[in-house]
Each structure stands twice: as C-alpha cells, then as structure tokens.
Amino acid sequence: MAAQLEEQAVDPAPEAGTSADVFLDGVRKAYGDVVAVDDLTLEIARGEFFTMLGPSGSGKTTTLRLIAGFEQPDAGRVFLAGQDVTRVPPYDRGVNTVFQDYALFPHMTVAENVGYGLKIKRVGRREREKRVEEALAMVRLPGLGPRKPAQLSGGQRQRVALARAIVNEPEVLLLDEPLGALDLKLRQEMQIELKRIQREVGITFVYVTHDQEEALTMSDRVAVFNHGRVEQVGPPAELYEHPANEFVASFVGVSNVLVREQDGRPVRFSVRPEKIRLLDDEDVPDSGAQVETGQIREVVYAGPTTRYVVDLEDGGALMVSRQNLETTSAQALATRGTTVRLEWRREHVLVLDDSNKEDE
C-alpha cells in the first residue's frame, strides 16, 4: 500500500493541467450527507492571481484546504506544478497559507515570526536575517523586526503574516479571507498592496473571499462557487459584463431581474443598476432603448452616488444607481414618491431562462 501511495504521489498530471501550478481533477469532498465540493475540475496558471468567490457554504474554503492538504478528497486528484500531491501531507507541499486571524506567535518578535519557517528548514542565520529583511521590505514594514505583534496595528500584523508566507518562497500562496478582520479603508488599501506584492514576487496566489469587490479589484481570474460547483471562471470584467447565468449576475455585483412579455411568452432578463438611466423631464430617450415608467419608492444617498428603488407601472422594481455629478443630497432625497422614466440599452440586457435560475 505504501508503495502504491508513493507511486501515486509522482504521477504526472493529465495533459490539461501540465502547464498549471494548481490542477484539480474531478475532486469531490463530502461531510456526511453534505457535499462540499462536487466533481470539481479547475486549472490555475503559474503566476496567476486566482480568486475563489462565493457565499458561505459554497465550497471555496474546502477547495483551498484540499489544495493545502488539510483535507483529503473522497475522489479525484490534486496536482501542484504537474505532480500528483493528493496523498502528500501539507508540510511536504510547495504551498503556504495566510489566514484571516494572522496566526502569529505573540511571544516572538516580528523578525522571529517571519523567519520561523526558515529556522525550521535550518537556513543559516545570516541568510535567514537577509531574507527576513527583504520580506519585511516587500510588505513595507522595514525596521519593524524587533517589535512584538501586540505593538502592531491589524493591517501591520496581516503584512507580517504575508511576509512570513512569502519568505519561504512557496510555489503557491493560499490566502483564506486574509482581509476579513480589517476595517473598510484598510481592507481597500491592502487589496492594492496584495496585488502589488503578487506582481513583484511572481508567486501564484489562490485567494478565497465572499467579497465581490476584493475579487474584482485584485484578480486575474475569478471562479464563482455555488453549492460545491463552479458556475463560471473568467477575468473579472467578463464575469461582470457577461455573466453565465442568474446566480453569477446577482452575486458578482447587483443585478435587477424583470419578467416581460415577448413573442407571447414571459422572458426573464437582468440589467445592472448603473446601466439604467434616470431620465429628466427634458431628456429624449435614445433610439431603440427600452423605456419604462415608475415611481421612486426609496432613495439612498451614498456620497458619490445615489441609489433609487423604483416601482414600475408594468410590474416589478428596479435598483438604479446614479452618480451625483451635480446633485445634492437634498435634491436626491426630494425625489422620493415622484414619477420617473427609466431607460436602458438592449445590449446591457442579459436574457435569463429557467435553466439559469438559482435553485431555491
């Protein structure tokens, strides 16, 4: 049996995954009657910033744990850099993981935390100190090596955790919602920093999040998870502008869904809030555009933009997003209860059908 497992660990990947840093081949994982990952095949290219996006319970974190080796698949195989590592323990895989809770040693200094993995690998002191300094400079924390984690802010601790991971020069870096504990402004700053670091070090990043803005901001490609399966994989712009189905349209951004009669049958379609134009009295609709009349039910003033909820005369409601180029909060809020015309162009409409409807 041991010989069989050893032989399996060095099997070459199927041809489809030979150029990938990570290749999942028909992977399945269940916990009792709950199928967390369902026959998943996924390929992540070398040097890619790849994000697994989805709601809680969609299977994205389980997939990350399967790549890391913290979980074993019930079926299928896991390949790293073309080698089958399905039965290889986590410590023998060329990956490191960054968690949301940092997992720093409180009794160690920042430098000791960053260099811990190198010390375990018996890297010499001088080389270890050099690489620790380089890693701290990479995450823009030079000179903070002597401090303890308790002396750092949340964002700084997350940078230390990142430095500790990249100092080991892994083939793949796994990040499990690492920014979830940070406040909004710091999270947005760290999104830009993470992308910069990934570009500079050239390591494959596999990132897990339920935050669509993070996915759209940082990723080269995104996989949208739902019930243990991937609904769509592609660049952020493709997922947002050309969603494969209603689930992707509604989860990646906000999407309105309406039903209208066409050729004698009801047709379901979606349109993004920012693609809908709120017409002023003097505005003339574009030729060929769809125009509907409704009443503004709710107004949410959000600084740069205002969101309107409009009940349509022909049934249904739409969320409309409008930039406040010349609109004050008083002007926006005063529109509540007024009758308006809405316009959207047909190329911004995604037609849906029953096969695309999310299971209830």
Residue-wise pLDDT for 116-171, tens only, equals 989 888 989 899 999 999 999 988 899 899 999 999 988 889 889 999 999 988 99
Residues 6+ apart with CB under 8 A from 192: 217
The arithmetic mean of pLDDT across residues 311-332, rounded, is 91
Q: Is the pLDDT of residue 354 over 60?
A: no
Coil, strand or helix at 83? strand
Residues 304, 191: one domain?
no
Q: Single out the residue of 28, 67, 27, 62 nearest to residue 44, CA to CA.
A: 67
Start-to-end Cα distance in the chain? 44
Over the stretch 45-59, which tens digit does the pLDDT of each residue have? 999 999 999 999 999
The arithmetic mean of pLDDT across residues 280-288, rounded, is 82
Residues 63, 145: one domain?
yes
- Are the C-beta atoms of 161 and 149 separated by less than 8 Å? no
In the chain, % of residues over pLDDT 70? 92
How many Cα atoms within 13 Å fall on the side-chain side of residue 265?
4
Over the stretch 331-346, which tens digit does the pLDDT of each residue have? 889 999 999 999 999 8
User: What's the rounded Cα separation, in Å, for the pair 16 and 7?
Assistant: 21
What confidence score (pLDDT) does residue 182 get?
A: 82
Residue with tokens 């010989």: 3
Residues 204, 83: one domain?
yes
Residues 51, 106: one domain?
yes
Bridge partners for 44 per DSSP = 22
Residues 17, 155: one domain?
yes
What would the two tokens of residue 108 be?
């160690």
The larger pLDDT score, comparing residue 31 to residue 253, is at 31
Q: Is 36 inside a domain boundary?
A: yes
Residues 267, 228: one domain?
no
Q: Single out the residue of 217, 222, 145 nearest to residue 179, CA to CA.
A: 217
Q: Is 255 inside a domain boundary?
A: no
Q: Is the pLDDT of residue 5 over 50?
A: no
- Reported residue count of the chain is 360
Count of structural domains, the chain: 2
Q: Single out the residue of 304, 303, 308 nearest to residue 334, CA to CA.
A: 308
Residues 208, 80: one domain?
yes
Q: Is 157 inside a domain boundary?
A: yes
The arithmetic mean of pLDDT across residues 243-259, rounded, is 90
What would the two tokens of residue 353 be?
């059908």
Q: Is 82 inside a domain boundary?
A: yes
Q: What's the DSSP call for residue 10? A: T
Greatest CA separation for the chain: 79
Which residue segment(s) compose the domain that 9 sits in? Answer: 2-250
- Residue 143's domain is classified under what CATH number? 3.40.50.300
Residues 222, 307: one domain?
no
Calculate the average pLDDT of the chain: 88
Coil, strand or helix at 358? coil
